[in-house]
Structure formats: structure tokens, C-alpha cells
Structure 1
Amino acid sequence: MTGTDDTADTTTDDDRTTAQLRRRRLLRAGGTLTAAGLLAGCLGGNGGDGGDTTTGTDETDDGGGDGDTETTEGDMDGGGETTNVAIISSPAGFGDRAFNDLALEGLQNAAEEYSIEIQQVEETNQSNYGTVQSRLAESSNPDYDLIVMVGFNHTQALQSNASQYPDQRWMLINDSIDQPNVAGYVWANHQMSYLAGVLAGTMTTREFSYDGSATKPGNPQVGFVGGTDGSLINAFERAYRQGAKFVNEDVEVSVGYIGNYSDTGTANDIATSQYDSGVDIVYHAAAAAGQGVFQAAQETDQFAVGVDADQSVTLPEYQDVIMGSAVKYINRGTFQVAEAVVQDNWSSVQGRNVLGLDAEAVDLVLGQAIGPELPDAVSENVEDAKEAILNGDVTVPCTASGCQN
């Protein structure tokens, strides 16, 4: 077996050859699987972004994951052969109520329409990604038609494995590599974070209270808590900072990094320190660890902004402090790639796909509980910012892939 770790390999050369030949036969056959119509509202593939080619290779915390797997069987009424799809988590793991769960949700939605079986692989240790990827690629029972990797943390390992296993189709989320068997999907994290800054910048300058929590308009100050201090999350931070200043140049922005995406305790400590210093709204880009920010907001009677999903819905226990969430529709992307594999239409998704405001792939949504209570100025400022970005009147810092400096 080809991999980056010294895990024991029981695969024989004959097994490996058989699996590769089976894959080649399937690719040559083409058009043998039946499928229903396209998902309404799914996003188009092969979207360019004007030369954004940054590759994220930031290190994350070793979570010590052991590659736990869980299988979900799809609806078998779609006809044709079963399509086998594996999905490997990011270091945050499944159950983050955000990034990983959204990616999985898209595959589960596809399984409701097509004959798809999902293998869910929980791996939180980045150093194991090379081995996990190659093990799935070499599998013959089942032979995976698609392997989905959640997060740029998989990029370095995939750069080797994509060429090592040219007949294996891969989907890489939040990054891409130049190989014909890879569909790279990158969402405009910087654009949605800019809008999060507009929300925070608007509300920190206004007197507002909800269910015991209140802003401090006399001292406009907002906060940011990130996972790892690297190029990708730096884009969240810098865009958020500029979004807040789009509303008020005098807004101060406090910044802290956890060092990983799972430590809710450290996230709580950082956010609490920011709230104690005068911050009244904190935006997090820390996956599962971000729940510590919401806890701190409740404990200090302040507010927060969620990320990736509408976290006032996915984490309803915190909806009393979540003003809004910067969202990206990862579920639509994983649905689209799975559907393309079922329909033998790989060319529609292959390559680098960058999805932003112009494709309605990212947005800022207001919290389910707090949103209706917010002043009209929030929606007005957010819409003004969107228009300015789309018209080119505002240049959002960094790119969808991260900050290059």
C-alpha cells in the first residue's frame, strides 16, 4: 500500500490490480446508471475565480482520531447499480453542526434520490490522511466510485494519492489540485466573512438587547476567534475586520486563535477575555470549537456570529446569543458531485470550482430568534455590501483559498 504512515497492509498485488481494472471498466462503460432529474438550485461546476490558485497546507491539531467508519445505505429505488461513496472528516470530526455535517448532509440528500451507499470515515489526525485516502482507494469491497475529503487539511496527502490512483475519483473541499480525477470545491469564505463583519460592525454601534444580552454602543469593539492561525482562517479574520470597518472605520477588532478546531475550552477562554475587554459581538471560524464562543457569549450576556451553517438552527441551545451566521452551501456541492458520478458526468464537476456571492453559494443569514428583532439597518447594510462586492466597488481581502501574505 502507498501511504504516509506505517499502518500494516494486507492488500495483495492481485487485489490491487483487480480493483484498478474494475474501475477502468466502469469508467469506459459510461452511461449505464439511471438517475432522476437535477436538484433544483444546485450550483454549477467548473467556476473560475480569476486566477485564485493558492493551495492551503496549514497544519492543524492532531486530534488522535482512529478512522472510525459508519455506513449509510441510500434509497435503492433509483435503479441501476449502487454507487459507493466514502467521506473522510476534517480534524474537527463529524458532529460539528457545521462544516463536516454539511458535507455529509449533501451526500445523504443524494442518497435519498439515487442508489448510493455512504461510508463515513471519522479521522481527526491529519498525519493519517495519506494512509486513510490510499486505503479507501485500494478497497475492492466495496470499490469506491467517489471519495470526499472534508477540508484543505487533506491537500498534501491527496497531491500524492491523486496521481498514485488515477482511476479513483476524488472531491476535495476548500482546496483543489490540478489532476483530472479531482473535483476541487472552494467556497468564498472571505466574502461571507466580510458580511459577518458588516453585521457585527452595524450592531456594535447600536444599543440593542435580547433576552438579557446587550451591546455596548459607547465603545464599538468586536472580536474574532479562529481555529488555526494560517492562510485559510486568516482570510476569515481579515475579511471580517474589513467588513466591520465598511460600516464604521472606528470599530476595533480583537483577534485570538485556538490552535485547533476541537478545543471548546480554549475557545471559551479567548472569547471570554475579548468580552471582558469590551467586545460585544464575536465571530468564530473554528468549526466544532466554536461552541465555546457561544457558551462564553451566554455566560457574559453578549452576542456571537456563527459560521458555515445557520448555527442558530443547528445549535438551537445557543440561538439566544447568535445574531446571525456566515453560511456556505457545502451540502449542495457534495450533492452535485455525487450526482455527477451517478450520471457518469464527471466533466461537469472536475477541476477547480470556486463558488461565491455571484452563484448565491455563500451568504449571511440572521439568527432564528434574534434576527426578527434586529433593526432594518442590518439587512440594508448587508445588501449594500453584497452589491458593492459584486459590482467591484469593494475588494474583499485575500481569496477563497486564503491569504497569501
Structure 2
Amino acid sequence: MKRSNAAKFAAVAAASMLALTACDNAADDGSGDGSGDGDAASELKVGLAYDVGGRGDRSFNDSAFRGLEQAAEELGVQTQDFEPADGEPDSAKEERLTTMAEEGYDVIIAVGFAYDGAIQSVAPEYPEVDFAIVDSEVEGIDNVTSLVFAEEQASFLAGAAAALTTEEDHVGFIGGVETPLIHKFEAGFVAGAEHVNEDINVEIDYLSQPPDMSGFSDPARGREVAQAQYDRGADVIYHAAGASGNGVLESAVSNDFTFIGVDSDQYVNAEDAQKPHVLTSAIKQVDVSVFELISAAAEGDVEGGIQRFDLSDGGVDYTTSNEESIEPIQEELDALKEQIVAGEIEVPTQP
């Protein structure tokens, strides 16, 4: 799979928004309008293993699912998704990938850095299978494609949006689990907020520490920490906490503060009563990268190695679905976006 240009990325992203209903097992036949030979595509079996929190997080996992679903509908490939168990050991991830390979899946996609060790262990044993992992850089294994994103760039725009809309000069960041990946979200958010207002107060909390990954799947804890940040004065809160972010949004509604989502467009996914509280979301197009990988596999053209996506190609961005709220600051955000793409602003990846 070759790196997409911005136009192609945008086109696939737009198409993926049409795929929002459930798809559990196999697509019907190869009559979709995807690229490649329909009969060949219909014989392709694709399995996707979710990260902590599973489908329904309105965030990272749901984005991956949309890409899988789009491939089933447009390419006619056979698909199956697999949920993790709460608190499962790393060995369970390895067993899951091995079972999928043994059952004849041609493409196996692991969502999340937690699968890094499992991918590195299992993929070399099945060289005929195309493996992919989202959010982890795996090198030196020919049949593994790493799909990685410049989360810090989208988070910078989220931080700028928070600083431009706060009434208290006091904002918050809630990370699910304190890992190097989530540090990228934190670093970008703080840099963006301080770029707009160097004196802004930024609350920072994590819901759990490794090896405890429950911070990505604990909405009650997310709601509790968001309440604490609000009580300390934060009136705009951004999360990078997976399904726990649903609790952050609940707290935003209860306390009437502003919420910034992550990974998926959480305004689109929100309930009607929640939508006014969602300013924007710092998204990464996991769905598009998953669809493009499967499309390349259907054409027999998967390239292993690291595929990087950032603001320049539309791989990450901020959303404008809540037009009423985002329109007053959109010009400033777009100017910052252009400066990042041009290299005039260098966004940190570590706090």
C-alpha cells in the first residue's frame, strides 16, 4: 500500500462516512464497486482485532470498524471483527492472531500498540498472511504494515481550539493510559493551548498506569476525573481515553462545559443532547488507512513497512461538524494548520 495523497485520502474518508451500520461476518458477493477483480476480492478474508474498549467506543476502535465495514460493502471482501476480553493477558492477543491465521484469514489487522508483541511473534510464522498494526512501528518483518499517525499535530489544533474558546483560561487533558503514544496527544494539546495563550492553565490527568490498560475502557472513571478537572476550574476538556471518553462527555453535559473528542468525529457520534457540548474532535483517519490496506490486499499490492499519516495528507485533522461552535475560530485554526504543514510550527511529541 503506497502512501496516499491528500485528495485520495479525503475521497476515501468521505466514502467511509457512509458506512455506519453493523457488519459482523461475511459480505455477500464480489459485486461491490471497489477496485480489483470482484471474484478475487470476495475470496479475501479479513479479520480485525480491536484494542481495549472494543467496538462502541465512539473513537479509535469504531473508526477501524468503519474502514472494515466499508471494505465489506465496497470491495465485497469477507470480514470478521474480534473483541478483546477485559483485563486479558498479552498471551490472549497472540492466541487471537494465531487463531485467525490458522482459520485462513488473508489479512489480519490489529488495532492498537498493545498488539505489538503479538504481531512480532505471530507474523513471521505466517509469511503468506498480510498483517497490519495500528499505532505501532514494527520494522524488519516483510508481511507487517504499520499504520501510524501524527496525533500530536491534530492535538495541537485541539489545544488551540480549547484556548480560543475557554472563558476561564483553564482547560484540561485526560489520557486513558500513560504511555508514549498518549504522551503525543498530551504534548500536542498543551503546545497548541500555550501557543495561543502562554499563561493558560492546563490540567493533566491519566486514568490508569501501565500495565493496567483499564483507562481506555472505564467511562465511570472518565466521568469522575472530568468532574474533578471541572471543579478545579477547567471549562474545556480534551480526552485521549478511548471508551472512557464517553464518561467525559457525560460530565460535560451534566456540568455544561465544552468537550473535545478524539480519533473519530465525536459530534457525529454523540446523542442529540450531547452535540452542543462537542466543540471539535482531533481525528486520525484509522478508517481510511484500514480501507486502503484492504483495498491494496484485494489487488495483491500490499507493501510492508511503516505508513505515516499527518496533517499534510489528511491523515489527521480537526473536525468542523459543529459549525456554529467552530466557525468563529476556524480561520485561526486553519492558519495554524498551514503553519504546521509548512514546517513553521514544530509540534512536540513528548510532554
Q: Same fold (TM over 0.5)?
A: yes
**2:346 matched to 1:395?**
yes
Say whether residues 1:41 and 2:3 are aligned partners.
Answer: no
- Alignment partner of 1:280 is 2:235: yes
- Which digits, 9 at most, give the CA deviation of each residue in 1:248-307, with x for residues without a partner? 101110011112211111111111011111110000001111011111111111111001
How many angstroms apart in 2 are the aligned matches of 1:43 and 1:180?
A: 28
Between 1:239-248 and 1:72-81, the stretch displaced more is: 72-81
Which of 227, 252, 257 in structure 1 is aligned with 2:206?
A: 257
Q: Do residues 240 (structure 1) and 207 (structure 2) align?
A: no
Whether the 8 Å contact between 1:75 and 1:112 is mirrored in structure 2 is no
| Aligned partner letter, 2:319 | V
Alignment-mate amino acid for residue 287 of structure 1? G
* Amino acid of the structure 2 residue aligned with 1:41: K
Query: Shift of residue 116 of structure 1?
Result: 0.7
User: Is residue 42–residue 332 contact of structure 1 (8 Å, CA) maintained in 2?
Assistant: yes
For the 8 Å contact 2:279–2:325, the answer to whether it is kept is no
Quick check: 1:309–1:328 contact (8 Å CA) kept in 2?
yes
Select the structure of larger CA radius of gyration: 1
* Bigger fraction of residues in helix: 2
Are the structure 2 counterparts of residues 82 and 337 from structure 1 closer, same or farther at C-alpha, using a change threshold of 3 Å? same
Residues 338-395 of structure 1: CA deviation (Å, up to 9, x unaligned):
1111111113xx2100100111111111343xx314563x112211211221121211
1:191 aligns with 2:153: yes
What do you get for the CA RMSD once the two structures are aligned?
Answer: 1.9
Q: Which residue of 1 aligns with 2:289?
A: 333
Shift of 1:74: 4.3
Give the distance between the partners of 2:125 and 2:319, measured in 1 at CA: 42
Greater CA drift, 284-293 or 379-388 = 379-388
Deviations 1:150-182 (A, max 9, x none): 111100111111222222210111112111101
| Residue identity in the other structure for 2:146 | G
CA spacing shift, 1:150–1:277, aligned 2, 3 Å: same
Partners of 1:225 and 1:286 within 8 A in 2: yes
Counterpart residue number, 1:163: 124
- Contact 1:75/1:113, CA 8 A, preserved across alignment: no
1:372 maps to which residue?
Answer: 324
Amino acid at match of 1:364: Y
Change (3 A) 1:253 1:132: same
Query: Structure 2 CA distance, aligned partners of 1:192 and 1:72?
Result: 34
Identify which of 318, 322, 332 aligns with 2:278. 322
Identity %: 32
Q: In structure 2, do the counterparts of structure 1 residues 75 and 197 end up closer, same or farther at CA, with 3 Å as the change threshold?
A: farther
TM-score by length of 2: 0.86
Match of 1:100 among 42, 50, 61: 61
Identify the residue that residue 59 of structure 1 maps to in structure 2. none
Q: Is the 8 A contact 1:85 1:145 kept in 2?
A: yes
Which residue is 2:245 aligned to? 290
Equivalent residue letter for 1:395? E
Q: Aligned pairs, how many?
A: 316
How far off is 1:316 after superposition? 2.8
CA distance in 2, matches of 1:189, 1:155: 18
Q: CA deviation at 1:73?
A: 2.1
CA contact (8 A) 2:9 2:314 kept: no
Structure 2 contact 9–315 (Cα < 8 Å) conserved: no
Give the distance between the partners of 1:233 and 1:365, measured in 2 at CA. 20
Alpha-carbon separation, structure 1, partners of 2:264 and 2:10: 17
1:131 and 2:95 equivalent?
A: yes
Instruction: Name 1:385's counterpart in structure 2.
Output: 336
Distance 1:340 1:126, change over 3 A: farther
Deviations 1:166-211 (A, max 9, x none): 222101111121111011101111111111001001111xxxxxxx
Q: What CA distance in whole angstroms lies between the structure 2 residues aligned with 1:73 and 1:275?
A: 46
- Counterpart Cα distance in 1 of 2:311 and 2:201: 26
Contact between 1:357 and 1:363, CA under 8 Å: does it hold in 2? Answer: yes
Gaps in structure 2 of 5+ consecutive residues: 1-6, 12-22, 32-37, 209-214
- 1:211 aligns with none
